[in-house]
Amino acid sequence: MKYILILLLSVFVSNAQIQKEQLDLMPWPQKIDLGTGTFALNKNFKVNITANPNSRIFIGATSFLRRLDNRTGLFLPQNFLTQINESPEAELQINCGSAGKIEINENESYELIVTSSKITLNAPNDLGALHGLETLLQLLQNNSTSYYFPTVSITDAPRFTWRGLMIDASRHFQPVAVIKRNLDAMAAMKMNVFHWHLADDQGWRIQIKKLPKLTDLGSNGNFYSQEEIKDIVRYADERGILVVPEIDIPGHASALLAAYPEIGSKVDNGIGSYAIQTNSGIYNAVLDPTNPKTYQLLEEIFDEVCPLFPGAYFHIGGDENNGKEWASNPRIQEFMKKNKFSGKHDLQTYFNMKLIPMLKKHSKKLMGWEEIMTDNMSKDAIIHAWRGVNEGLQPGESLIKAAKSGYNTVLSNGFYIDLMLSIATHYQNESLSKNALLSPEEKARILGGEAAMWSELATPLNIDSRIWPRTAAIAERLWSNENVNDLQSLYKRLKTISFRLEEVGITHIRNKEVILRNISNNQNTIALNDFSNVCEPLKNYKRNGGGKKYRMHSPLTLFADACTVDASDAIDFNFAVKKYLDNKNIENEVVVTNFFRKWIKMNTDLIIVSSNAPLVQPLLPLSQKLSEISEQLLLLIEKKQNSDKSKLNILIEQANIRNDADVELAVLSGIKLLL
């Protein structure tokens, strides 16, 4: 009887008016007018496409149908959509006038109108229509037995034209399947630029047919064939995504120089003395800008790489050249003197400027990390702003400087997701708004931003959980209105958004369980899972201890790899503590003390699991500390014992020390509040 009541109640709830706040949309659209009715989804639901788009919308609409029936279990009738006006009677009408161009500043707007009997999606081109389909999927609601859309009218368009994700495929190679599923997730979040970091000290990852040594000697066999590159570019195009390749030069060139040491800057011209790097860090290996062979080889590379990427941009890296090899090579010093170069920056600008015509030949614009922004650099270059507080600059400082100096610019400072910082950090990245003093012309030069996923500690197994769901918040920052910035709303919507990313193949949830099963040695993972929900990987590259702990072939199947930023129980606990301190009633107290009981039990269970699981051993000191802290706090709160606060403080301090698990307790802030 009780359950019948629940059922009835839920039917009742489902018929109640949906509030805008209930919608789990991300990025949040520019304008939503919510009606009071519903459009009921049933198994006869069909899609029709009109106007004159390219094949992109047929692929997108087919994929929309498959995601809809996979999610709902409805056996929708349409298979592959292939023709215009195939089903004029269809409930969903997609009108997209023309084929969108995969380029910056293309119109990506759309209008979505759901009435109780019809859904209309209008867009000037298929790119907007694809965005509209993602919004429609996010609008889907259900009661206990069926699915429906709320009646609504949405008009939407992005705030910034450049909404990117960079994936580093050099430090750890990321196979085609990893890239494709992340392109799908990007499309779901209306992101439109995939920046592909293809070469660095740890590996050269793109086949160059004329220069096979690059992959023979620079990749350990892990690279993309040109066919695979084309396949991914096509796959991205079908999802409305521009691919920007990056070949990082003149620094970060160990892998390139392992193949062609003769264009390196070592005094002996480096023959045989460069090698692929297997640690993290910044290396000396740098191309020789004074050697004509350098440009000859680069031109051969560009001549093969550029035609693979139809987009207008080519990223040449240009970052973190320490100049040491240049400084210690007398021939290069002589060259600089002769040319009256005041320092390594002048030499690098000289080098960069030589690249521009090579790229121009292929109608490509040069893009580079902000180090390329020197006095003499061409204003045609796009400046990729990445440095900030860690590098002694103000947040957004380089972005503003670039815009004021006349450069188009893209922001990644504040969007380095490999730093393992909280979603709030990225969501509240205000640099894009610090443009009060910019002229409209200068403002227009800020194209947008990019999440940057460096892969020193990211493998195909764990990379999705490093990118997602935090990148969804970055996508919203770049798409939605500046004043869409409520953290509670973000957290709430993210629960659904993160779950739905599984639908497009993102493995952030499932692979966590794989890692925990491995750690547990196939035992029960409940305690490990509980512990992972209060621990976060060490932040700001601390996990890798100056790049010395993990080499590129070190295991990344450890507890820290199962843990993620924004540990879920930690968020809940820290929130519960604040609520309890606001009002020390018994309900609020129990919520807090139940966490302590859970952690005491968890520690006990972890000890049991550890008896047959060596990989659990490194976690025990920390879980033991948490258990002891919990016991003390239970005494303090429940028994009102004036427990020994200094003992507690010592425990907390000990829990704060770097441990062999390479994680930090994310509940310490809440715990400290209780003292």
Catalytic residues: 320
DSSP string across 592-642: HHHHHHHHHHHHHHHHHHHTT-GGGGGGHHHHHHHHHHHHHHHHHHHS---
Q: In the complex, what is the shortest distance from the CB of residue 247 to its own copies, in angstroms, rounded to a whole number?
A: 22
Contacts of 504 (CB under 8 A, 6+ apart): 67, 181, 184, 185, 187, 188
Is residue 83 a contact residue for its own copies (CB under 8 A)? no
Is residue 44 a contact residue for its own copies (CB under 8 A)? no
* Listed ranges 66-74, 251-259, 330-338, 466-474: which one lies at the site for its own copies (CB under 8 A): 66-74
Q: Looking at beta carbons only, is 10 or 428 nearer to its own copies? A: 10
**Which residue in 20, 40, 44, 80 binds its own copies (CB under 8 A)?**
80
Evaluate whether 316 touches 247 at the Cβ level (below 8 Å): yes
Is residue 517 a contact residue for its own copies (CB under 8 A)? yes
Is residue 12 a contact residue for its own copies (CB under 8 A)? no
Within residues 408-467, the interface with its own copies by CB under 8 A covers none
**Which residue in 499, 597, 645, 650 binds its own copies (CB under 8 A)?**
499
Dist CA 341 CA 639 (whole Å): 74
Tokens 């009780």 found at: 2
Is residue 615 a contact residue for its own copies (CB under 8 A)? yes
* Listed ranges 5-13, 106-114, 330-338, 343-351: which one lies at the site for its own copies (CB under 8 A): 5-13
Is residue 607 a contact residue for its own copies (CB under 8 A)? yes
Dist CA 662 CA 558 (whole Å): 9
Is residue 572 a contact residue for its own copies (CB under 8 A)? no
* Listed ranges 130-138, 142-150, 562-570, 635-643: which one lies at the site for its own copies (CB under 8 A): 142-150
CA dihedral 541, 463, 27, 388 (to 10 degrees): 20
363 DSSP β-pair partners: none
Is residue 40 a contact residue for its own copies (CB under 8 A)? no
For 70, counting Cβ atoms within 10 Å of its Cβ (0-12 exposed, 13-18 middle, 19+ buried), the class is exposed
Q: In the complex, what is the shortest distance from the CB of residue 464 to its own copies, in angstroms, rounded to a whole number?
A: 12
Is residue 22 a contact residue for its own copies (CB under 8 A)? no
* Listed ranges 222-230, 304-312, 336-344, 573-581: which one lies at the site for its own copies (CB under 8 A): 222-230
**Which residue in 390, 521, 641, 649 binds its own copies (CB under 8 A)?**
521
User: Which residue from 352, 149, 337 is spatially nearest to 247, judged by alpha carbons?
Assistant: 352
Q: Looking at beta carbons only, is 320 or 513 nearer to its own copies? A: 513
* Listed ranges 293-301, 449-457, 493-501, 630-638: which one lies at the site for its own copies (CB under 8 A): 493-501
User: Which residue from 378, 160, 206 is spatially nearest to 309, judged by alpha carbons?
Assistant: 206
Tell me the site size for its own copies, rule CB under 8 A.
69
User: Which residue from 341, 328, 134 is spatially nearest to 239, judged by alpha carbons?
Assistant: 134
Contacts of 153 (CB under 8 A, 6+ apart): 32, 33, 35, 111, 112, 113, 114
Q: In the complex, what is the shortest distance from the CB of residue 96 to its own copies, in angstroms, rounded to a whole number?
A: 20
Is residue 327 a contact residue for its own copies (CB under 8 A)? no
Is residue 558 a contact residue for its own copies (CB under 8 A)? yes
Is residue 513 a contact residue for its own copies (CB under 8 A)? yes
* Listed ranges 87-95, 285-293, 462-470, 605-613: which one lies at the site for its own copies (CB under 8 A): 605-613
Evaluate whether 187 touches 169 at the Cβ level (below 8 Å): no
Dist CA 438 CA 440 (whole Å): 6
Q: Looking at beta carbons only, is 74 or 438 nearer to its own copies? A: 74
Q: In the complex, what is the shortest distance from the CB of residue 591 to its own copies, in angstroms, rounded to a whole number?
A: 18
Per-residue x/- track, 621-640, its own copies (CB under 8 A): --------------------
Is residue 225 a contact residue for its own copies (CB under 8 A)? yes
* Angle at which helices 487-500 and 470-479 cross, to 10°: 120
Dist CA 308 CA 229 (whole Å): 7
Phi, psi dihedral angles at 443 (to 5 degrees): -55, -40
246 DSSP β-pair partners: 197, 315
Q: Looking at beta carbons only, is 30 or 496 nearer to its own copies? A: 496
Is residue 378 a contact residue for its own copies (CB under 8 A)? no
Q: Which residues of 120-133 are buried (b: 16+ CB within 10 A; e: fewer)?
A: bbbbbbbbbbbbbb
**Which residue in 72, 120, 374, 588 binds its own copies (CB under 8 A)?**
72
The DSSP letter of residue 44 is T
Is residue 19 a contact residue for its own copies (CB under 8 A)? no
**Which residue in 22, 390, 481, 522 binds its own copies (CB under 8 A)?**
522
**Which residue in 494, 534, 552, 571 binds its own copies (CB under 8 A)?**
552
Write the CA distances from 261 to 203, 265, 276, 351, 384, integer angstroms: 15, 9, 11, 18, 28
Write the CA distances from 123 to 56, 90, 131, 133, integer angstroms: 14, 18, 9, 11
Dist CA 254 CA 218 (whole Å): 8
- 564 CB-side CA count, 13 A: 27
Q: Looking at beta carbons only, is 285 or 403 nearer to its own copies? A: 285
* Listed ranges 161-169, 227-235, 331-339, 478-486: which one lies at the site for its own copies (CB under 8 A): 227-235
For 441, counting Cβ atoms within 10 Å of its Cβ (0-12 exposed, 13-18 middle, 19+ buried), the class is exposed
Is residue 511 a contact residue for its own copies (CB under 8 A)? yes
Is residue 46 a contact residue for its own copies (CB under 8 A)? no
Q: In the complex, what is the shortest distance from the CB of residue 613 to its own copies, in angstroms, rounded to a whole number?
A: 8
Collapsing DSSP to helix, strand or coil, 382 comes out as strand
Q: Which residues bind its own copies (CB under 8 A)?
A: 3, 6-7, 9-10, 59, 65-66, 69-76, 78-80, 142-147, 175-177, 220-221, 225, 227-228, 231, 278, 495-496, 499, 502-503, 507, 509-511, 513-514, 517-518, 521-522, 550-558, 604, 607-608, 610-615, 617
